[in-house]
């Protein structure tokens, strides 16, 4: 019974992820997306794209990574991927959050989830590199289709977007070429 209570405490803690606002807005809406919505959306994208992955990846492990990687934002908050200074400082704060939040679970799940989270963050496997790339796709697509909304609001340049998101090629080079072309031809960049 104690393990079940720990699992329920963890699940209830995750409800807080719905209150963590990101910088992008969902298509057609005038509000910011929350991290729980992002996690669902990026997992759906991974399910659609894993069959095209080269080399082949374990799709279930990728989805686990994508579901777990942003949970730390409950404590650490969301940091804009283009803010290199804050991103560099974020890992220790996020690791502390991961240990606290996954620590709510029974020991075996705590260890499994923490290991998966670290693997994602460090990019030390095919699955983690694929998951990191997939995690970048949704915000890029949202911005392309929202007139560069979060890029415009945060003074992000085309050069920054191209540099930061070139990892998408790890997931699918053809997809990256398509996205890169759309980025370079988007009318919202200052010429």
C-alpha to C-alpha distance for 24 and 103, rounded to whole angstroms: 30
Please name the residues in contact with 16: beta carbons below 8 A apart, sequence gap of 6 or more: 74
Residues 138-154 have a mean pLDDT of 94
Rounded Cα–Cα distance for residues 103 and 109 (Å) = 9
Domains contained in the chain, CATH given: 2-184 (1.10.3210.10)
pLDDT the model gives residue 191: 53
The count of other CB atoms within 10 Å of the CB of residue 170 is 19
pLDDT in tens, 68-102: 999 999 999 999 999 988 888 899 999 999 999 99
CA distance linking residue 80 with residue 136, whole number of Å: 12
108-127: burial string, b at 16+ Cβ within 10 Å, e else: eebeebbebbebbbebebbb
Q: Is residue 186 helix, strand or coil?
A: coil
Name residues whose C-beta falls within 8 Å of residue 122's C-beta, 6 or more positions apart in sequence: 128
Q: How far apart are CA 86 and CA 9, in angstroms?
A: 30
**Tens of pLDDT, residues 28-59:** 999 999 999 999 999 999 999 998 887 789 99
CA–CA separation, 83 and 88 (whole Å):
9
Tell which residue, 180, 174, 167, has the closest CA to residue 120: 167
Q: Is the pLDDT of residue 7 over 90?
A: yes
Contacts of 4 (CB under 8 A, 6+ apart): none
Lowest mean pLDDT among 7-21, 51-65, 105-119: 51-65
């Amino acid at each position: 019974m104690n393990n079940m209570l720990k699992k329920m405490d963890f699940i209830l803690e995750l409800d807080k992820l719905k209150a963590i606002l990101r910088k992008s807005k969902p298509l057609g809406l005038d509000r910011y997306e929350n991290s729980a919505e992002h996690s669902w959306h990026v997992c759906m994208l991974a399910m659609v794209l894993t069959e095209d992955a080269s080399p082949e990846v374990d799709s279930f492990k990728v989805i686990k990574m994508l579901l777990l990687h942003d949970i730390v934002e409950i404590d650490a908050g969301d940091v804009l991927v283009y803010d290199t200074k804050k991103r560099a400082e974020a890992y220790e704060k996020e690791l502390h959050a991961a240990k606290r939040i996954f620590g709510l679970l029974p020991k075996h799940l705590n260890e499994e989830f923490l290991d998966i989270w670290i693997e994602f963050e460090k990019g030390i496997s095919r699955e983690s590199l694929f998951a990191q790339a997939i995690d970048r796709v949704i915000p890029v697509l949202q911005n392309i289709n929202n007139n560069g909304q979060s890029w415009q609001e945060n003074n992000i340049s085309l050069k920054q977007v191209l540099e930061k998101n070139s990892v998408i090629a790890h997931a699918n080079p053809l997809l990256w070429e398509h996205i890169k072309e759309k980025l370079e031809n988007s009318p919202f960049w200052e010429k």
